[in-house]
């Protein structure tokens, strides 16, 4: 149903107005969207510290300040910024989007491990790839958002890993949050996996979903039938976001 709304401008505009009124969403609100396991929680943690007026106590209120639509059913009632995290597909009525994209093989492999460790999935990687899971296939998600008119900025996860300061400044510039390079570098140093997990352990912050930035050899994992099933979902748009060295 949502897909049909997206292809019909009048219906999409009507649904958007209803949805914004229902959840109190403003035209200036920005959605930080990604396919699951693409670094959204990590970026969100950095943006929390980059927010004007940040204090150490904000770590305890991350879900109020930059809410996760999927982890907090009352996200629209308690948020304190115009930034909202989401994994939903292009068929949602968002007006402004920052899209975070990670190589689909890395995101899919990481999602499979996470779902398996959480006890939500018990099959092999081949089973996981051949039977797409919520919210869609990686390729459909990327091709929907990467070229959408609502998407104002596309951030590659791999660029965040290699040049985190530049990518953080790109996001805060779009959000019109003043941030100096020295402060950005301080935030990055404070946002390692180890420091984030330490905060979770001692301050009860829900950051257990953060994984490692280092992946297994994707060339060794995505072979045979696994690569076959994954390749069947690709299209010219999504293929552009695969790491060239791994093609």
For position 109, which CATH number holds? 3.40.50.300
Quick one: tokens of 148? 């959408």
Give DSSP secondary structure letters for 58-107: GGGGHHHHS-BTTT-TTHHHH--SSEEEE---TTS--SSEEEEE--HHHH
192-202: average pLDDT: 72
Quick one: tokens of 93? 């009525």
Q: Which residues of 28-50 are buried (b: 16+ CB within 10 A; e: fewer)?
A: ebbbbbbbbbbbbbbbbbbbbbb
Please give the pLDDT value at position 132: 78
The domain of 122 spans 2-246
Q: For residues 26 and 82, is the Cβ–Cβ distance under 8 A?
A: yes
pLDDT tens per residue, range 156-180 = 999 999 999 999 999 999 999 999 9
The three-state secondary structure class of 217 is: coil
Please give the pLDDT value at position 76: 62
Instruction: Indicate whether 66 pLDDT > 60.
Output: yes
User: How many separate domains does the chain show?
Assistant: 1
Cα dihedral sign, 3-9-14-17: positive
Q: For residues 93 and 115, is the Cβ–Cβ distance under 8 A?
A: no
191-203: average pLDDT: 71
User: What is the value of pTM for the model shown?
Assistant: 0.85
- DSSP classification of residue 30: E
**Measured in whole angstroms, how far is the alpha carbon of residue 97 from the centre of its chain?**
11
Q: For residues 47 and 174, is the Cβ–Cβ distance under 8 A?
A: no
CA distance 247 to 245: 6
pLDDT tens per residue, range 224-247 = 888 888 898 888 889 888 876 444
């Amino acid at each position: 149903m949502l897909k049909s709304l997206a292809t019909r401008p009048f219906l999409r505009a009507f649904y958007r107005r209803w949805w914004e009124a229902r959840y109190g969403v403003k035209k200036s609100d920005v959605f930080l969207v990604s396919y699951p396991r693409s670094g959204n929680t990590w970026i969100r943690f950095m943006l929390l510290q980059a927010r004007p007026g940040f204090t150490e106590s904000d770590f305890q209120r991350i879900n109020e300040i930059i809410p996760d639509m999927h982890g907090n059913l009352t996200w629209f009632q308690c948020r304190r910024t115009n930034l909202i995290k989401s994994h939903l597909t292009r068929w949602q009525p968002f007006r402004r989007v920052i899209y975070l994209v990670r190589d689909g093989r890395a995101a899919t492999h990481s999602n499979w491990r996470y779902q398996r460790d959480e006890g939500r999935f018990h099959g092999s990687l081949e089973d996981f790839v051949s039977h797409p899971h919520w919210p869609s296939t990686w390729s459909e998600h990327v091709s929907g958002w990467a070229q959408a008119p609502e998407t104002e900025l596309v951030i590659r996860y791999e660029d965040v890993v290699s040049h985190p300061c530049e990518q953080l400044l790109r996001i805060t510039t779009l959000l019109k949050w003043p941030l100096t390079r020295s402060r950005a570098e301080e935030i990055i140093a404070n946002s390692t996996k180890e420091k984030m997990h330490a905060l979770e352990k001692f301050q009860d912050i829900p950051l257990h979903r953060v994984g490692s930035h280092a992946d297994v050899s994707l060339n060794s994992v995505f072979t045979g039938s696994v690569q076959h099933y994954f390749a069947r979902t690709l299209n010219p748009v999504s293929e552009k976001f695969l790491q060239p060295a791994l093609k």
